[in-house]
Amino acid sequence: MSQPAPASVDDIFDEASGHLALGEMDQAVALYRRCVQQDPRFFDGWHALGMALLKTGEVKEAIGAGLMATTLRPNDLLAWTGLSQMYVRAGMIAEAEDAKGKARILSLGGKVAREA
């Protein structure tokens, strides 16, 4: 009898997003964590993990996930917007303003980092 194939990152992400939609934050966070453990370069997982952690009040960990998202995609508008929200919640106003400024540059069609 063969073992079932391990769930793909996309499958785990979809399951996590289902829990998020139902307001089941703890389950969503646990599954988003699995996503980024399985694939540390999975941008959507880091961004979603950060936003879910923010909703659960785990602000410091949310900022860490938000920073990973902006590191992986430095020209992503939503990543910078989310990170700004995380910094605001942490009372880190200078950092929040910086992230908001980067989001504004991106919203106007600019870039904050050179494309590889």
- Quick: pLDDT tens for 81-106: 999 999 999 999 999 999 999 999 99
Ordered alpha helix ranges (H), the chain? 9-21, 25-38, 43-56, 59-72, 77-90, 93-107
- Quick: pLDDT tens for 8-24: 999 999 999 999 999 99
Evaluate if residue 39 carries a pLDDT over 90: yes
Q: What structural domains and CATH numbers belong to the chain?
A: 9-107 (1.25.40.10)
- Quick: pLDDT tens for 47-71: 999 999 999 999 999 999 999 999 9
Measured in degrees and rounded to the nearest 5, phi and psi for residue 39 equal -140, 90
Q: SS3 of 42, please?
A: coil
Amino acid at 71: T
Residue 107 burial (CB < 10 Å; 0-12/13-18/19+)? exposed
Q: How many CB atoms lie within 10 A of CB 55?
A: 14
Q: What is the pLDDT of residue 114?
A: 81
Q: What is the pLDDT of residue 51?
A: 97
Task: Enter the pTM of the model.
Answer: 0.91
Evaluate if residue 75 carries a pLDDT over 90: yes
Q: What is the pLDDT of residue 5?
A: 65
